[in-house]
Structure 1
């Protein structure tokens, strides 16, 4: 399988070019740019990009969609119905399966960061996780269109991390991982598994009183925080919004 990655400088957003092998049909996962390196790789491998599959609608994942469509004007642009953006040509529903250049692509619904977030499982071996799960971190539930802590926990623990441990995880930002690595090393996952104790430090989160359950890592070298509000609700917020 060919998997080429381009990562934007500012947002650290990944765009992927995926194909079964050279001289076949291929697809893009998201379109956050820069696109030129992927265009070059497609030409180098003799690939015909027929589809652009969007994990979700946030601007850092679709900002270069126009560039991609200028290069591949006949490509189908598919997204969950709640994640459509200008340029989308069709819907990709949870459970839908596509065959592109001999690869099977299955859409898994993983709400939390957004309501219609899709993860894309390719040939049962590689999962493109969008902004649901990162290497060592998890997606936040404070971005536009987000749903809840309970949703993203379920998406990670009951959908993604039930896949075989050798499954390669290719997130929407920065470096890849595997299911096995995240089960063992991701601090949020370890707490959800009951392997490590929850914290109980009082803090301010977004200017409000809260309990800091975990100040974990984030993909950009900063932090992401799991907090609990006085009414018992859990939340995941940027680490920069925590006052200790």
Structure 2
């Protein structure tokens, strides 16, 4: 079964990977227990494992309540002291089994220094590293770290389904079109996103192929993106990392 985004707070998604083929149910980044408990009660299931990508409370805040309901719940997280409730800490390159689902752990620092992603079964649970048409803010990491993390994710198979932690796609589309206005793939994706949000539908998951074609943060080498950043900074001699860093600063202050 495909992954299901469960809305939480203003714009978070808690991801549910339902049981299938005899495997168990996985919950990713449950910042709030309430919608998970409601979904479990409505569907008559219970989670077997929780995957955590990073320490921010809107991604881990519901774990304690879920473990009170299901004391044996497995919680898999990065080595991060700011995540207090876990049963297993994992590092880059580990292969894990979570409720019968296999994943590879990918270190993707940038948004936070200990951020990880989980890749397997054609799915990428990437927290706040990669968004559709955007990427996470650099709260702790450096531009070089985030660019390397995005390069790593962009190298995964094109049909990978990107399961991000927030519904930011519509606002990201406005910025992406300011940066890359002549991109027909981006124009099509933006129109699709507008229609989905108008009917209150999620814009995720998206495919990595679409992100490669449309997301300016995965296109820092594209001539159109480099030209836009050069015009914004007044400097056409920026390195690749500096171009990415400027693009992120531009997005931080962008207002549609």
- TM-score, reference length from structure 1: 0.75
- Aligned position for 1:221: none
* Structure 1 residue 200 displacement after superposition: 3.2
Q: Match for 2:129 among 127, 132, 135?
A: 132
* Structure 1 residue 22 displacement after superposition: 7.5
Please give the secondary structure, in 1, of the residue aligned with 2:225: coil
Q: 71-80 or 35-44, which moves further after superposition?
A: 35-44
Q: Distance in 2 between matches of 1:45 and 1:52?
A: 18
* Structure 1 residue 193 displacement after superposition: 4.0
Q: Match for 1:169 among 142, 148, 162?
A: 162
Cα contact 1:24–1:48 (8 A) shared by 2: no
Q: 94-103 or 164-173, which moves further after superposition?
A: 94-103
- Aligned position for 1:3: 3
* Structure 1 residue 166 displacement after superposition: 0.9
**Cα distance change on mapping 1:233 and 1:23 into 2, 3 Å:** closer
Task: Please state which structure has a larger fraction of its residues in strand.
Answer: 1
Q: Match for 2:36 among 35, 38, 54?
A: 38
Q: Distance in 1 between matches of 2:250 and 2:63?
A: 27
Equivalence map 1:170-185=2 (5 Å):
170-174=163-167, 175-176=203-204, 177-185=206-214
- Aligned position for 1:220: none
- Aligned position for 1:236: 248
User: Could you list the runs of 5+ residues in structure 1 that have no partner in the other structure?
Assistant: 203-210, 214-226
* Structure 1 residue 15 displacement after superposition: 1.0
Task: Please state which structure has a larger fraction of its residues in helix.
Answer: 2
- Aligned position for 2:120: 122
Encode CA deviations 1:146-179: one digit per residue, 9 max, x unaligned: 111011111111x111111111000011142111
Q: How many residues align?
A: 214
Please give the secondary structure, in 1, of the residue aligned with 2:15: strand
Encode CA deviations 1:105-153: one digit per residue, 9 max, x unaligned: 2211111111111111122x01011111100001111x2xx11101111
Residue 147 in structure 1 maps to residue 132 in structure 2: no
Deviating above 6 A after TM superposition, structure 1's stretches of 4 or more consecutive aligned residues are none
Cα contact 2:105–2:119 (8 A) shared by 1: yes
User: Could you list the runs of 5+ residues in structure 2 that have no partner in the other structure?
Assistant: 168-202, 236-240
Cα contact 1:22–1:46 (8 A) shared by 2: no
How well do the aligned residues superpose, as a CA RMSD in angstroms? 3.0
* Structure 1 residue 94 displacement after superposition: 1.2
- TM-score, reference length from structure 2: 0.72
**Cα distance change on mapping 1:192 and 1:42 into 2, 3 Å:** farther
Cα contact 1:93–1:107 (8 A) shared by 2: yes
- Aligned position for 1:200: 230
